[in-house]
Chains A and B, each alone.
Chain A
Amino acid sequence: MKILALDSSGLVASVAVVEDDGINGNLLAEYTVNYKKTHSQTLLPMLDEIARMIELDLNTIDAVAVAAGPGSFTGLRIGSATAKGLGLALNKPLVHVPTVDSLAYNLYGTDRVICPLMDARRNQVYTGIYEFRNNELSVIEPQMAVGIDVVAGKLRDLGREVIFLGDGVPVFREVLTEQLMAGQKFSFAPAHLNKQRAGAVAALAVSYVRAGRVETAAEHKPDYLRPSQAERERAEKEKKEKLHG
C-alpha cells in the first residue's frame, strides 16, 4: 500500500509518501518546512519535488491522507482542497487523519502520556491526551479546543509522566512549568519530533486504510473543532434572547 500524505494545519508544511506491505513500512520521502507560512505557494511544489525524486507515478498511490484538523482554518483548507483535487483527478480515496492524533503518533512507543499542544488563539489550545497501549495509539482524551488549564488539570488527575509537543509548546511552556504542572513529571519533545510531520500522517493513515476508515474525495471536509466567529456570535445572541425574551 502506498500513501501520499499532506499536512498544512499549522506553521509547518509537510508532504510524505509511505509504502507499507503489511510487514515492512517505508518512508520513501518526506519534505517538511517550518519557515514562514506560505503553504498555498509551497505545498504543491514540495510534493512535486519529492514525487520527482522518488519517480512516483501518482496513479500508483492507494490513498491521499491529510491532516484534517484542528489547525489554522485557512491552512486546513489548503491541505484539504489539495487532497480533494488529487483524489478527484486520480480517482483515489482520502484518509481523514485528526491533526492532534498524528502529532501524538510522532512519539510512537513511549510509556509516557502524550499531550500535543497547538496554539488555538483566543486563550485556547487544540490538544488531546494519548498513550501507546500494546504498541497502538490509544486515545485517553480525544482532540479538543480548551483552555491550557483544563488540559493541565486532566493531566494532573492522571498523575503520570507527560511529554508535550506541538507548536503550542513555546506559547505555554512557561505557564506549564511554573504554574500548571509545577511539581509534576513532564518533558518536551525534541526538535525532530515536536511538530507536524506528514510521515506520521501517512503511517497512521496506513492503519486507517486497513481498518476501512477512508472517505471519498467529494465527501471529505476539514474538522475545525470550532464554529466560525459569526456562527458563534449568532448562537450567543440567540441564547441571550431566549434567556431574556
Chain B
Amino acid sequence: MSTDREKDIYILAIESSCDETAASVVKNGRHVLSNIISSQIELHKLYGGVVPEIASRKHIEKINQVIQEALDTAGMTLDDMDAIGVTYGPGLVGALLVGVAEAKAISYAKKLPLVGVHHIEGHISANYIENPDLEPPFVCLVVSGGHTHLVIVRDYGKYEILGRTRDDAAGEAFDKVARAIGLGYPGGPKIDKLSKEGNPDAIAFPRAKLEDSPYDFSFSGLKSAVLNYLNGCKMKGETVNRADVAASFQKAVCDVLVEHAMLAVRNSGLDKFAIAGGVASNSSLRAALGDACEKNGIKFYHPSPILCTDNAAMIGAAAYYEFLAGRRDGLDLNAVPNLKLGER
C-alpha cells in the first residue's frame, strides 16, 4: 500500500441519505478542497420533520448543481478524480438511491472506481479532517437524529460497537421534546439555544440505566417524563418555564451520554475520544464531554459544526481509507436503508 504514496488521491464524494444534498472533493482523505451542502431544512419545517418523498424529489433537482459546484470550488474536473465515494446506507431509501444512481453513472462514464460508504463511518471520519494527529484506535460517540452509537474504532474501517440506543436516537428525543414545548423543527439547535436561559437542575428528569448493558442508551423514558411533566403542569394550571424544561432535559441527555462514554474509554484502555453526528454540535454536550475528558486525562476530538451535520467531506474521508483498503463497488451497488455499522 505504501508503494504509491507520493501520488495524491482525489475523491469526489456524494451524500444524499436524508435532507441534505451534498458533494465534496477531498484530497488524501483529510484535505477538504470543497464541501457543498444544499439543505432542505426550510422545506421540511412546514411538515415538522423530514418528508422522505419531498427529500428525494429535492435531491434529484439539486444533485448536479451541487456536484458541479464542488468540482468548481476545488478548481478541478472529473478527469482529476481518482475515485467516486457515495453514501449507500443507512438512510431514507428514496433519498439514498438518488446519490447512488448518480455516483454509479459518473463512475461508469468516467471509468472511475466506485466506493460505497456507510453514513455513520462518514460521521466518525469527519474527525480526521481537522485533526491530522488523530489515528485509530480511539473511542467514538456518534449522536445524530437517526443514530446513537458508542464504538471503538480499532483501525480505519474496523469498528467494534459497544452500545447503541434501544429506542429513540438522541437527536430524535431532542426533536420530539422541542415539538412538545412548541419550538418546532429541527429541535436540537433550538433546545440548545433556549437552554442557555434555563436552569438545568430545575426539574429532575430520569437518567435511564440498562442493567444488562452499561453502554446502551434509552431515551424514550426521558421523552415520556418530559411529556408527563408538561401534562402535569397543564392539569394544575401552572405555566411552564420552557427554558427550564429545555435545560433540564438537555442536561439529562448529556449526563447519560457523558457517563457511558467515559466508562467506555476507561474500560477500553485508550486515551483518545471523539464525537460525531449532528448532535455533536450541541454546545452543552461538547462542554460536558470536554470537561470529563480533561478530568480523566483523555484527548478529546470533535469536528466543527459544519462537519457534524450531514456533509460529503466526511464521506470523502471515509471513502479514502476504504479506497486504500481496496474496496471497490460494482455498477449493481444498491441503497441499503438499514445498513448496520461494520457491515458490507
> Which A residues lie at the B interface, using CB under 8 A?
38, 40-45, 47-48, 58, 73-74, 77-78, 80-90, 217-218, 220-222, 224, 228-231, 234
Contacts and interface: CB of A to CB of B under 8 A. Distances in A.
Contact of B51 (A44, A73, A80, A230): A230
Interface of A is mostly: helix
A48 B330 CA distance: 11
Given A44-B332, A77-B101, A81-B97, A89 B106 contact: yes
Contacts of B59: 77
B101 A85 contact: yes
A85 B54 contact: no
12 contacts: A40-B334, A73-B56, A74-B94, A74-B97, A81-B60, A81-B101, A86-B108, A88-B68, A88-B105, A90-B109, A217-B64, A229-B53
B94 A77 contact: yes
Given A40-B335, A81-B98, A234 B47 contact: yes
B340 interface: no
Contacts of B108: 44, 47-48, 85-86, 89
- The B contact surface, by secondary structure, is helix
Contact of A89 (B57, B63, B109, B334): B109
Most chain A CB within a 10 A radius of its CB, from B61, B68, B104, B334: B104
Interface in B91-106: 93-94, 97-106
A99 to B, nearest CB: 16
Nearest to B71: A88
A77 B53 contact: no
Interface residues of B, number: 37
Given A74-B94, A74-B97, A77-B94, A41 B334 contact: yes
A85 B94 contact: no
Interface of B: 46-47, 51, 53-54, 56-57, 59-61, 63-65, 67-68, 78, 93-94, 97-106, 108-110, 330-335
Given A80-B60, A81-B98, A88-B67, A45 B332 contact: yes
B97 A228 contact: no
Contacts of A83: 105
Contact of A40 (B47, B67, B100, B330): B100
A42 B101 contact: no
Nearest to A230: B51
A58 B109 contact: yes
A84 B64 contact: yes
Contacts of A58: 109
A222 B68 contact: no
A230 B109 contact: no
A89 B330 CA distance: 18
Contacts of B106: 85-86, 88-89
B65 A44 contact: no
B78 A89 contact: yes
Given A41-B332, A230-B54, A82 B104 contact: yes
Contacts of B64: 84, 87-88, 217-218, 220
Contacts of B61: 221
Contacts of B46: 234
A55 B330 CA distance: 20
A84 to B, nearest CB: 5
A230 B332 contact: no
B73 to A, nearest CB: 16
Contacts of A88: 64, 67-68, 78, 102, 105-106
B54 A81 contact: no
B332 A42 contact: yes
B218 to A, nearest CB: 30
A82 B57 CA distance: 15
Nearest to B112: A89
Contact of B102 (A43, A73, A84, A230): A84
Given A44-B332, A84-B63, A77 B47 contact: no
A228 B57 contact: yes
Given A44-B105, A45-B332, A228 B51 contact: yes
B240 to A, nearest CB: 27
Given A40-B334, A74-B94, A230 B53 contact: yes
Contacts of A89: 78, 105-106, 108-110
Nearest to A49: B331
Given A85-B104, A86-B105, 20 more contacts: A40-B334, A41-B333, A41-B334, A48-B108, A73-B94, A74-B97, A78-B97, A82-B102, A83-B105, A84-B64, A85-B105, A85-B106, A85-B109, A86-B106, A88-B105, A89-B109, A217-B64, A218-B68, A221-B60, A228-B53
B56 A82 contact: no
A78 to B, nearest CB: 5
B53 A81 contact: no
